[in-house]
A and B are shown apart, each in its own frame.
Chain A
Amino acid sequence: MLSLDNVEVGYDGVPALHGVSFDIAAGEIVTIVGSNGAGKSTILKTVSGLLRPIAGSVRFEQRRIDGVSAHRVVGLGIAHVPEGRRLFARLTVTQNLTVGAYTRKSPGERSAMRDRIFDLFPILRDRQTQLAGTLSGGEQQMLAIGRGLMAQPRLLMLDEPSLGIAPRLVEDILASLARIKAEGATILLVEQNVVEALQLADRGYVLQTGRIVLSGTGAELLRSDLVRQAYLGM
């Protein structure tokens, strides 16, 4: 469904990704794990069109999308839930969801999608008229995911959804991803929360300083020496 081939990306000439290649099949949850500054967010930003690769290619459903502007990528079926949530703080919960559906104009589809999101995160239903900036961190993350889902993406990309959230809520949020997958979406999850992410994912990649150094199923990676030593401290 999504494949990156030898993608190189830099910031002002300083390379951040050195020839990254990986792919995701429809219906999978794939995770990319790595520590601070490894280049995880850079990968997602490249896929969603916020950054342009210097070399290599990004394909989505057989179509090359590197070089497509960010505001067009959503319409192709890729939603990016950015790191730090980036909600529209001065808009209400409902308004954030409406903006999330900017590429989906049909009112029927929108209200059906909103209902699905409220089923997934019931707390948001009670918060509809509240300003997004006044939600708790966990609620904000749920809203960020919901806002991404409003575009009805076939590929949902999430950048560290567990960042700064209480452990109990992290479980809820990761469990919601399993439900989203069951409802037919493909998920690319970036995490520093290595254990939870690898337990949830079908497959994973380990990223270190802009290079993929290991790949395998979630279980394989959890057993690997590299992951055990570098990320689990064993």
Chain B
Amino acid sequence: MPTEVLLQAVASGLLMGCVYALIAVGLSLIFGLMEIVNFAHGEFLMLAMFTTFWLALLFGIDPLLSVPICAALLFVLGVLVYKGIISRILSAPMLAQIFATFGLGVFLRSAAQFFWSADYRVVPNHVVEGRLNLGGLFLGWPQVVASIAALLAFGTLYLFVTRTEVGLAIQATSEDREAAALMGISSDRMFMLGWGIGSLCVGIAGALLANFLPIFPDVGFLFALLAYIAVALGGFGSIVGALVAGVIIGLVEAIGGLFWPSFKYVAVFVLYLMVVLVRPQGLFGRY
């Protein structure tokens, strides 16, 4: 296999990996805080993509401008879902919690099909398009922009969680919510914020992906699946782990696709199984 082809795959894998990481970190943040997996995470992504699509179609708003809009809308959605559903089932059995978010996902997907049909949509015209020629390596500009923006969002999140007082309060709550309460931190407030921020991440990712991918009600499924794997691979609740795992998955997917195009996700799952068998807590996990 020629080197350029391999390099090409590595480059596109890296780019997609950054977006996977942003999707995964939203999931990981929520899980780290309260040991709840948001099984509607993929549908949140789908909603952000459709929002971007409709904003472009109806108001001519470019997907890049939709990034902050989707971030804000998804933050609000996350807070509402926490307040309306999650906060009521905090002490419910785990199965009930799984059904609650899973059911929400099914509901959102069906609603999207009902209102918007199962058709594939593409954002009509966008500012960022074309390809970047890096000495023979061709990278789509939308992908390049998406990965840079995803990394920026990721870095901001990291600084927020590790450097600000509210971020420390989130970390304290995820380590020991009772001890955090003794410091004056309301776990309810932190959970709400965690759902808001976790959903905001996926909102940003959705707007960025809408720049170059078709949009349809089931679009979130594959991304959510990869995000669950990234969270498990990186270690549940670990922010850095989500980044590393997201990039690894992007790489494995792209390089695996070179050798075995129809089964590229098999390579991802095999890698996941290997890591989980050797190191069940994930690469950066604490369990």
Q: Are A88 and B178 in contact (CB under 8 A)?
A: no
Residues in A whose Cβ lies below 8 Å from that of B180 = 71, 88, 99
Residues in A whose Cβ lies below 8 Å from that of B172 = 88, 91, 99
**Per-position contact with A for B172-197: 1 when CB-CB < 8 Å, else 0?**
10011011111111110000000000
Q: Are A75 and B184 in contact (CB under 8 A)?
A: yes
Closest chain-B Cβ to A24's Cβ sits at a distance in Å of 19
Tell me if A70 counts as interface (CB < 8 A to partner B). Answer: yes
Closest chain-A Cβ to B284's Cβ sits at a distance in Å of 11
State A89–B182 Cα separation when bound (angstroms).
16
Residues in B whose Cβ lies below 8 Å from that of A86 = 176, 178-179, 182
Contact of B176 among A48, A71, A75, A88 (CB under 8 A): A88
Within 8 A of B (CB), among A34-86: 48-50, 69-72, 74-75, 79-80, 82, 86
Tell me if B165 counts as interface (CB < 8 A to partner A). Answer: yes
Q: Are A50 and B182 in contact (CB under 8 A)?
A: yes
Tell me if B18 counts as interface (CB < 8 A to partner A). Answer: no
Residues in B whose Cβ lies below 8 Å from that of A147 = 183
State A72–B189 Cα separation when bound (angstroms).
13
State A172–B165 Cα separation when bound (angstroms).
31
Q: Are A50 and B181 in contact (CB under 8 A)?
A: yes
Q: Are A102 and B184 in contact (CB under 8 A)?
A: yes
State A144–B74 Cα separation when bound (angstroms).
38
State A147–B183 Cα separation when bound (angstroms).
8
Kindly report which residue of chain A lies nearest to residue B178, judged by CB atoms: A50
State A82–B181 Cα separation when bound (angstroms).
11
| Chain B interface residue number, banded | 10 to 19
Q: Are B184 and A88 in contact (CB under 8 A)?
A: no
B interface residue numbers (CB < 8 A to A): 165, 168-169, 171-172, 175-176, 178-187, 286
Contact of B186 among A48, A71, A89, A100 (CB under 8 A): A71
Contact of B175 among A79, A80, A90 (CB under 8 A): A90
Q: Are B168 and A151 in contact (CB under 8 A)?
A: no
Closest 3 pairs (CB-CB, A-B): A103-B184, A86-B179, A70-B181
Closest chain-B Cβ to A92's Cβ sits at a distance in Å of 10
Within 8 A of B (CB), among A74-131: 74-75, 79-80, 82, 86-91, 95, 98-100, 102-103
Residues in A whose Cβ lies below 8 Å from that of B183 = 71, 74, 99-100, 102-103, 147, 151
Number of interface residues of A (CB under 8 A): 26
Residues in A whose Cβ lies below 8 Å from that of B182 = 48, 50, 70, 74, 79-80, 82, 86
Residues in A whose Cβ lies below 8 Å from that of B185 = 71, 99, 102
A/B interface sample: 24 pairs, CB < 8 A = A48-B182, A49-B181, A50-B178, A69-B186, A70-B178, A71-B184, A71-B186, A71-B187, A74-B184, A86-B179, A86-B182, A90-B171, A90-B286, A98-B165, A98-B168, A99-B168, A99-B172, A99-B180, A99-B183, A100-B183, A102-B165, A102-B169, A102-B184, A147-B183
Kindly report which residue of chain B lies nearest to residue A81, judged by CB atoms: B182
State A147–B172 Cα separation when bound (angstroms).
13
Contact of A95 among B168, B178, B184 (CB under 8 A): B168
Q: Are A88 and B181 in contact (CB under 8 A)?
A: no
Residues in A whose Cβ lies below 8 Å from that of B176 = 86, 88
State A100–B168 Cα separation when bound (angstroms).
11
Residues in A whose Cβ lies below 8 Å from that of B181 = 49-50, 69-71
Residues in A whose Cβ lies below 8 Å from that of B168 = 91, 95, 98-99
15 further interface pairs, Cβ-Cβ under 8 Å (given A71-B184, A82-B182): A69-B181, A70-B182, A71-B181, A74-B182, A80-B182, A82-B178, A82-B179, A86-B179, A88-B180, A90-B286, A91-B172, A99-B165, A99-B172, A99-B180, A151-B183
Residues in B whose Cβ lies below 8 Å from that of A91 = 168, 171-172, 175
State A74–B172 Cα separation when bound (angstroms).
16
